[in-house]
Chain A
Amino acid sequence: MIEVENVSKRYGDKIALDDVSFVVRPGVVTGFLGPNGAGKSTTMRLIVGLDRPTSGSARVNGKQFRDHPAPLHEVGAMLEARAIHPGRSAHSHLLALARSNGISRARVDELIDFVGLTGVARKRVGGFSLGMGQRLGIAAALLGDPGTLILDEPANGLDPEGIRWIRDLMRDVAAEGRTVLVSSHLMSEMAQTADQLIVIGRGRLLADTTVEEFIQRGASDVIRVRSPQLPQLAALLVAPGVTTEPSADGNALEVRGTTAESIGETAAAHRIVLHELVRQQASLEEAFMSMTHGSVEYQPTEVVA
């Protein structure tokens, strides 16, 4: 269990995190979503004690991470692809980390096998591909058989097979009753992996919910309406919270903020002919975009030609 409580973090006058609180529970995969620069990596660094919060606290199983006597058994973390000296072999890298926590050499060999690096275990890490580096990072994270796994963008640089491997791994680890916090900017990936979602933008918590709820709450469903009397219908639908806009193909209306039932009833009451009335469910991606819009730090501005 990870508890982040009223954490703020300031670097100089830049506020990276602003009073963020959430709890990551064991037994499920918790996705950590947010645009680049939102504060995901900073939050993860604070949890494992690399950075100190300006105020607030982050705890793992009730204690600050640094107060655990066997840190690698408590948390396995892969924060960045390369937190590895390029001049060392994969085996030496893992062995050095293992020794500091009294973990056996046999466990090192076991993990090298497990992540599929046996053939290159004695080669210098500097020559590794991005995907091999990620696998080594995962091996390091699993070294202490941790109760909590924290992975920052683990799918980066992995091929589709590797991504499936990571996804299964996270699910298995969570199913064993462990805590899993995984960040990603790939919303589709989150939809397939995560049960719980924590969303942040510009250092603020935007949502702490389940994937399903997030989709429902974040972006309202779009209802597509086609009718020979569109302008008349559009005028009748005007109400607070209801938006209408022409569809991309130009021959339909996209309505948000109301239901298909209510549109149908309005049309019938005014004897308007409908050719199409379809509810289109929002995707996680849309939900994410609608929620984080405005909390994206670096937004492209439209180019005036």
Chain B
Amino acid sequence: MSAIAAPRAVTQARVVRSELTKLWSLRSTRWSLLLAVVAMTGLGILISSIRMSHYDARPERRPINPLDLSLAGWHLAELALGVLGVLIISGEYSSGMIRSTMIAVPRRLPVLWAKLMVFGTATFLLMLPCAFVAFFVTQSILRQHDLQTTIDRPGVLRAVIGAALFLTVTGLLGAALGALLRNTAGGIATFAGIMFVLPGISAILPATWTANVDPYLPLNAGTQLMNLNQSTGDLTPWSGFAVYVGYVVILTAAAAVLLVRRDV
């Protein structure tokens, strides 16, 4: 063995580089991100094309909301990104990789921060252009029947950027669950429970309860950014998003405390 350069220390920036290497070197990560990109870009374009080719102006037909249609891809992208968020952490536990990781960075917390930073940044940088492409292409398709909206209408730009923000935080929600539960199946099930099951349960509560609970459900609060017309009781776009971020911050803080305390 030849000598190597003088030893260098662990820094947060180096751990970020390490996590970036990990993220891109797994095929499963690349596929999940590709699925999110295709879904976010393509779903709105696909559905608006179908709607235009079958367009029927009679008033009893389903009305077209040009903004919602263009951003429809978030429904599928949130699933891909939430699951990937769980996996980037639970995958280390299921494979045993976490032991190599934590021996290299025995203070542990820099690993959690680096994973969240790298995954959050990658998600936002990928989803933001997807949302814009989906918006503009969809509007040009809707122009056939003069149903389009424009980016300069009130709230529209916020909604398009908001789609990327919502999806980023959704990915981080998955990651926080992965770090808390350290188990892929449990993490994905909990993610699905929070996003898809809670609204269903809220809907069968007594009506006054539903009215009080519904606006604060993570999905409802988080998606207000993409919503132009808040109904009565809905949180405003930014306060709804703040509530959603708050949930993720609380889960992440709990995960951080447990990461330091628990045996690996």
Contact = CB atoms under 8 A, between A and B. Distances in A.
Interface string B170-213: 00000000000000000000000000000000000000000000
Contact of B10 (A48, A65, A69, A83): A69
A86 B95 contact: yes
Interface in A101-128: 101-104, 107, 110, 114
B21 A92 contact: yes
A84 B96 CA distance: 6
A45 B262 CA distance: 13
Given A52-B263, A92-B21, A114-B1, A70 B7 contact: yes
B95 A82 contact: yes
Interface stretch (B45-53, B62-70, B98-106, B224-232): B98-106
Contacts of B8: 70, 101-103
A102 B99 CA distance: 19
B57 interface: no
B28 interface: yes
Given A71-B104, A97-B18, A50 B26 contact: no
A107 B99 CA distance: 21
Contact of A65 (B1, B17, B19, B106): B106
B127 interface: no
Nearest to A173: B1
What class of interface size applies to chain A in its complex with B? 35 or more
B38 interface: no
What class of interface size applies to chain B in its complex with A? 35 or more
B106 A104 contact: no
A222 B163 CA distance: 80
A31 to B, nearest CB: 21
Contacts of B14: 99-102
Contact of A144 (B7, B27, B98, B263): B7
A15 to B, nearest CB: 15
A96 B18 contact: yes
Contacts of B264: 45, 50-51
30 contacts: A45-B263, A49-B102, A49-B106, A50-B99, A50-B102, A50-B264, A66-B107, A70-B10, A71-B104, A79-B99, A80-B99, A82-B96, A85-B22, A85-B26, A87-B28, A88-B26, A92-B21, A95-B25, A96-B18, A96-B22, A99-B17, A100-B17, A100-B105, A101-B9, A102-B11, A103-B4, A107-B5, A110-B2, A145-B3, A145-B4
A68 B15 CA distance: 15
B4 A107 contact: yes
B91 interface: yes
Nearest to B114: A100
B99 A83 contact: yes
B234 interface: no
Nearest to A125: B95
Nearest to A95: B21
Nearest to B24: A92
A72 B99 CA distance: 13
Nearest to A124: B27
B104 A97 contact: yes
